[in-house]
Amino acid sequence: MTDAIVFTRGVPPTEAFPTRQLAECFTAVLEGDTAVVLQYGQQQGYLPLRQELAKEYRVSEAEVLVGNGSLHLQDLLSAHLIRPGSVVFTEQPSYDRAITTFRRRGARVVGIPLESDGISVQHLEAALKRDVPAFLYLVPDFQNPAGATLSREKRQRVVELANQYGFWVLEDIPYRKLRYQGQEHPLLREFDASRIITLSSFSKLLSPGLRVGFMLAPADLIKAVTKLEEDTVLSPVLPSQAAVAEYIRRGWLQPNIDQLKALYRPRWEAMANAVRSHLPGAQAFIPDGGFFVSVILPEAARTENLMGRAKDHGLILTPGAPFFADPHDGKAVPSNRFLRLPFCAVTPAQIEEGVRRLASLL
Amino acid sequence: MTDAIVFTRGVPPTEAFPTRQLAECFTAVLEGDTAVVLQYGQQQGYLPLRQELAKEYRVSEAEVLVGNGSLHLQDLLSAHLIRPGSVVFTEQPSYDRAITTFRRRGARVVGIPLESDGISVQHLEAALKRDVPAFLYLVPDFQNPAGATLSREKRQRVVELANQYGFWVLEDIPYRKLRYQGQEHPLLREFDASRIITLSSFSKLLSPGLRVGFMLAPADLIKAVTKLEEDTVLSPVLPSQAAVAEYIRRGWLQPNIDQLKALYRPRWEAMANAVRSHLPGAQAFIPDGGFFVSVILPEAARTENLMGRAKDHGLILTPGAPFFADPHDGKAVPSNRFLRLPFCAVTPAQIEEGVRRLASLL
């Protein structure tokens, strides 16, 4: 039996973690700011980290909330914005845990088809004529799960629609800084921030175990979500937030991102090449960055029991359906033909072999 | 203007934090267990810490959940146990944030009068004839806010009632190990654990900023709360949990507790003496441990606008009412005559002076 090749979750590999540097930062902040880091408080997040983020994103400190991972902030934001009868729009496919979070907080989730340059604005406009959502959830850069990036033109249009119809747009950008080619587009908030909530984290840039995520939004929204956070966890976990602030202060973040790109770029190329050469009949999203290539398998592909057959051949795949708010929507890609292929935690050789195995099963 | 003396929150003073030792533990676990500590996962909490706790409390690992502070676990437990129409019983007075959490999750909270040896069993039995609660919340050792400790006899009786009527008892024991005199009583779970959920944390024994709290309960309840936790925060913050595990593994926890007692004992004595000598007409709860002395001021005391008048005299107090689920219940202490007096973060000299100022205002 060959070793299993795992194309499932979007997790960084252990060799991506700047362990020694993080240890130094933890020591520095524990000893240098003991009275704050080891105490209750800083409900809106560790102040020096909020200051670093405010500077980077050109917002005020009152517009920054740092919490125990971005999923927690997303959950609290959902608790604040979702009311009985609320609708939330997502791309279709979208991040499965986001869909779950919105539903658990009581929303009806409507999936808007995703195209190679991001959400279908045509379908979005049609959906807005039926329902105005509490918010639209987007992963505009190197989307999870598909890898697509929202074009500049569509970004501008989405912001216009948000202002016109009066709904929030939640732009979730954890992968944005991991770009392997091409120029980045402006953030949605750079067109007009009044209806935009930006969510991101250091999970992909430093370490997921630290659980340091942040939200940028108008000050009154930040205040309301901070209150919910305080009522839920009292204070955030401060040593890890302070270690991240120290890491940034020392100027180590950009060099670390450069190292991550050097580690991930060959894997990204290997996945792009393998998909192109072994899955010629599939429609592939090859992103300009991030963690995920995705494919829509040919109509004739043998997708029945694909997960199980792949496992028997030493290939672990994630089913497509959980990424679809409405897997049975006729306009959408059939979810059983959609595959997310994360490449960051697997070597080029594993990628080549894994896609070869996949092709042999179709 | 003299410096203000602060008798408000139950926070440890900065000098109580074993900073250097914690920094060593962070470094050790980041470097020694990188692939786990810096990664997603360990939804039920960092395994070596769960193993330490399982050993100490003589339960299985499946009966231990470690989360981002005990308040978060309490909130998730509430989400799991509270249903529309649920009633929760607390001591009256009780921990204000607990009352808030239970209400926010939809419970009607009923306060059962607290006596000097813990909750009034007579009133509890009377209340059970009207409602069976989803759970009864107790702080059995050195209660927050009153300082009272539940007697051995009452512990046994509460466990019997829980089994007889079929309700959970949540025993919250963050102060238990900070005993300055006398023998400890068994935990409620030591009589019969089948209806008992034990909640505690390292906030008072190591540092609140770490946010490491834990829950002990039957495995199926732990499993349900873990699922809610995963859906909310994905993974817990792992470096701080791992640092605590390492701290325990090195045998440093008990010596640290001994040092804390040496730091707090003179403050506890000072508070007890000051209350006895300066507030002779007040009914005082002098605990055998923990963070709080409390007093019920004499009926004739001038309690109107006491917080404001105290502030004008350089004394910061916490109002009593938020500790009372039902401040207008005729059976209970009038909440405007109840004062919680935390002594751990103030020096004996400040305590003496603060209580003297308080007495002068009555």
A-chain CB neighbours of B104 within 8 Å are 231
pLDDT > 60? residue A177:
yes
Over residues A6-33, the pLDDT tens digits come to 999 889 999 999 999 999 999 999 999 9
Residues B14 and B5: their CA atoms lie apart, in Å, by 16
DSSP A320: S
Alpha carbon of A301: minimum distance to chain B alpha carbons (Å):
33
Q: What is the DSSP string of B176-241?
A: TT-B-SSPPPPPHHHH-GGGEEEEEESTTTT-STT-EEEEE--HHHHHHHHHHHHHHHSS--HHHH
Residues B219 and A352: their CA atoms lie apart, in Å, by 43
Q: How far is CA A107 from the centre of its chain?
A: 20
Cα-based torsion angle of the residue sequence B340, B344, B345, B349 in order, rounded to the nearest 10 degrees: 90
Least confident of A165-169, B136-140, B331-335: B331-335
pLDDT band at A332 (very low <50, low <70, confident <90, very high): low
Reported ipTM: the value is 0.95
Residues A63 and A54: their CA atoms lie apart, in Å, by 8
pLDDT band at B10 (very low <50, low <70, confident <90, very high): confident
**Which residue would you say has higher pLDDT here, B246 or B300?**
B246
Residues A209 and A181: their CA atoms lie apart, in Å, by 28
Q: How do the residues of chain B divide into helix, strand and coil, expressed in percent and rounded to 5? A: 45, 15, 35
| pLDDT at site B334 | 81
Alpha carbon of A57: minimum distance to chain B alpha carbons (Å):
25
CATH superfamily of B5-16+255-361: Aspartate Aminotransferase, domain 1 (3.90.1150.10)
B-chain CB neighbours of A22 within 8 Å are 30, 38
pLDDT > 60? residue A129:
yes
Asked whether the beta carbons of A331 and A111 are under 8 A apart, the reply is: no
Over residues B282-297, the pLDDT tens digits come to 999 999 999 999 999 9
| pLDDT at site A2 | 61
CA angle B78, B80, B82 (to 5 degrees): 55
| pLDDT at site B200 | 98
* A&B contacts, CB < 8 Å: 157
Q: Which CATH class is domain B19-249?
A: alpha beta
Mean pLDDT over residues B25-32, rounded? 98
pLDDT above 70: percentage of residues in chain B = 99
| pLDDT at site A72 | 97
Residues A4 and B37: their CA atoms lie apart, in Å, by 24
| pLDDT at site A3 | 83
Alpha carbon of A356: minimum distance to chain B alpha carbons (Å):
28
Least confident of A110-114, A130-134, A249-253, A329-333: A329-333
Token pair 């989360």 in the structure block, residue? B67
Alpha carbon of B73: minimum distance to chain A alpha carbons (Å):
9
pLDDT > 60? residue B1:
no
Copy the structure tokens of residue A300.
């004739």
What's the burial of A125, exposed, middle or buried (CB within 10 Å: 0-12/13-18/19+)?
Answer: middle
Residue B250 neighbours by CB under 8 Å, 6+ apart: B25
pLDDT > 50? residue A1:
no
DSSP H or E run through B284: strand B283-285
Q: What is the β-pairing status of strands A118-119 and B196-201? A: unpaired
Least confident of A36-45, A297-306, B123-132, B160-169: A297-306
Least confident of A212-226, B2-16, B129-143, B169-183: B2-16
**Inter-chain contact A239–B239, Cβ cutoff 8 Å?**
yes
Q: How far is CA A305 from the centre of its chain?
A: 28
Mean pLDDT over residues A67-89, rounded? 97
Strand locations in A224-309, DSSP E? 283-285, 292-296
Copy the structure tokens of residue B206.
């190591």
A-chain CB neighbours of B17 within 8 Å are 34, 38-39
B-chain CB neighbours of A211 within 8 Å are 68, 233-238
Asked whether the beta carbons of B207 and B252 are under 8 A apart, the reply is: no
Give the one of B14, B23, B209 whose C-beta lies nearest to A238's C-beta.
Answer: B209
| pLDDT at site B150 | 98
Q: Where are the domains of chain B?
A: 5-16+255-361, 19-249
**Inter-chain contact A26–B31, Cβ cutoff 8 Å?**
no
What's the burial of A84, exposed, middle or buried (CB within 10 Å: 0-12/13-18/19+)?
Answer: exposed
**Inter-chain contact B38–A208, Cβ cutoff 8 Å?**
yes
Pick from A199, A98, A94, A90: which is nearest to A144 by CA? A94
| pLDDT at site B333 | 72
pLDDT band at B332 (very low <50, low <70, confident <90, very high): low
* Helical H segments across A131-218, by residue range: 152-165, 188-191
Q: What's phi and psi for A264, nearest 5 deg?
A: -85, -30
Over residues B62-107, the pLDDT tens digits come to 999 999 999 999 999 999 999 999 999 999 999 999 999 999 999 9
pLDDT > 90? residue A85:
yes
A-chain CB neighbours of B13 within 8 Å are none
DSSP B115: E
Q: What's phi and psi for B87, nearest 5 deg?
A: -115, 140
Q: How far is CA A304 from the centre of its chain?
A: 29
Q: Which of B15, B36, B68 is the mutation pick for testing A, counting most A CBs within 10 A?
A: B68
pLDDT band at B171 (very low <50, low <70, confident <90, very high): very high
| pLDDT at site B335 | 86
Residues A47 and A88: their CA atoms lie apart, in Å, by 32
Token pair 């004394």 in the structure block, residue? B315
Q: How far is CA A67 from CA A78, A137, A348, B207, B229, in A?
A: 15, 19, 35, 18, 15
Residue B343's CB is within 10 A of a number of other CB atoms, namely: 29
Give the one of A35, A208, A232 whose C-beta lies nearest to B39's C-beta.
Answer: A208
Provide the b/e sequence for A254-289 (b: ≥16 CB within 10 Å). eebbeebeeebeebbbbbbebbeebbeebebbbbbb
B-chain CB neighbours of A35 within 8 Å are 14
Q: Average per-residue pLDDT in chain B?
A: 96
CA angle A88, A92, A94 (to 5 degrees): 80
* Nearest chain B alpha carbon to A35: B14
Q: How do the residues of chain A divide into helix, strand and coil, expressed in percent and rounded to 5? A: 45, 15, 35
Over residues A28-37, the pLDDT tens digits come to 999 999 999 9
Residue A353 neighbours by CB under 8 Å, 6+ apart: A5
| pLDDT at site B293 | 96
Alpha carbon of A106: minimum distance to chain B alpha carbons (Å):
14
Strand partners, A89: A110, A136
